Amino acid sequence: MFKTRIGCLALTAMLAAGMMTGCGGKENSREQEATPTAEATQAPEATPTPEATPTPEATATPEPTPAKQTSKYEIPDIVMEAKEVPDTDAFQFTKDMKIGWNLGNTLDASDCTWLDDELKYESAWCGVITMPKLIQSVKEKGFNTIRIPVSWHNHVSGEDFEISEVWMARVKEVVDMAIDEGLYVILNIHHDNNEEYYYPTSEHLDTSLHYVSSVWKQIAEKFADYDDHLIFETLNEPRMVGSNFEWWINPSDASCKDAVECVNKLNQAAVDTIRATAGNNPTRYIMVPGYDASPDGALNAGFVLPEDTVENKLIVSVHAYTPYNFALDEKGTSSFDSDKASDVRGITEFMDKLYDRFIKNNIPVVIGEFGARAKSGNVQDRVDFSVAYIAAARARGITCCWWDNNAFIGTGENFGLVDRAPMKWRFEEIVTGLMKYAESVD
């Protein structure tokens, strides 16, 4: 796990440009903290500067209209045979979600112990606070779902893990920004996976069940009256953090079997808690992951969906930065060609397994995190990957959400698409590629 600490005023611009990464992925954790230098204090939140209003006498000279530029990147065509997808309300629901974008490295920032104000967590990793114009821009680009990862453990107190009112209120503000734009919203428990809160082993199960139940009761009650545009996701990548099996499962290992069973119990506790609250929660759509949220975790023989009091309202949650050697591995290849069957097979093979186990059996799947990190000079490769990934997913009735951590600088896990401080989309062609088959592969 790689962690960097940045906090001085002199580095504020670097923060805003997306130095920090921060989310657990399939193969390793993208959790990166910001820490102040010896003399520095946390930079103040940026306040948007209102545009100047010209005086009545002033007449602005229009700037010349720049010539339209042709992109040097191509958006490839993909031939992808569409598989049969169940004609049910649940699959229509996930189809309507279309394609999603993650507000990563934001409300999910955690363990920022140098902060003197819990509301500063929101900008501790990404460098900026969330503004309505960002959410509006995400909507305008064609995304119809926004996943809002939230870490709660730094904002709870007491034996029953009571959530801070100011933190809950801020989470609600951000959720409302997306709901107001007509977006679907996925709200979860994110970087809370440790032994003090929840940890999927029998040794820590009592504390884990108490934490998950307590936190979800409070979240569910706060958002009870929101309609089905709000989706709850029980856990984020539940795993044995720090163990030899953090990011993979040995089916014959006793600790792995135990962890898979504990994830099932935690999912069940979350679903039971949500269903027991009022408003729309008894019938709300809920996403549930397997061990570490990987395809292998969902496909593991020990993974089972929770028992539910309502039919067809559970969605399997998967994270898949696949093929790993291209999408996530720093030392892997920087090349991906949508015309190469071997490259595309790195995507379709795991999706076919998800299709066979879940889609065929009337269980929807949402890939809540995917993406391909930037590597030197590989924008066209990432475009090809994006087109192929979404085409393959939509052909199987799967909806996907790109992981955006507002990271662009250096050689780290740079998954950013939109640079939030200047509100500039840095990779327009990738977005165009994502949208090409987001509706359908027909």
Q: Catalytic amino acids?
A: 190, 237, 369
Closest by Cα among 157, 149, 248, 255 to 199: 255
Distance CA 56, CA 94 (A): 52
Contact in structure between 107 and 174 (CB atoms under 8 Å): yes
The backbone region for 196, taken as left when phi is positive above 0, alpha when psi lies in -120 to 50, beta otherwise, is: alpha
Distance CA 247, CA 21 (A): 18
Q: List own/partner pairs for 242-246 with CB under 8 A and 24 or more apart.
A: 246/292
Up-side HSE of residue 111: CA atoms within 13 Å toward CB?
13
Contact in structure between 216 and 274 (CB atoms under 8 Å): yes
Secondary structure string (H, E, C) spanning 158-178: CCCCEECHHHHHHHHHHHHHH
Distance from the Cα of residue 383 to its chain's centroid: 19
**Alpha-carbon separation of residue 174 from 129, 130, 163, 353 (angstroms):** 10, 7, 17, 35
Distance CA 89, CA 228 (A): 12
Taking each helix axis from N to C end, the angle separating 132-140 and 165-180, rounded to the nearest 10 degrees, works out to: 30
Distance CA 31, CA 425 (A): 23
Distance CA 80, CA 355 (A): 15
Distance CA 420, CA 133 (A): 10
The backbone region for 109, taken as left when phi is positive above 0, alpha when psi lies in -120 to 50, beta otherwise, is: beta
Beta-strand relationship, 418-419 and 424-425? antiparallel
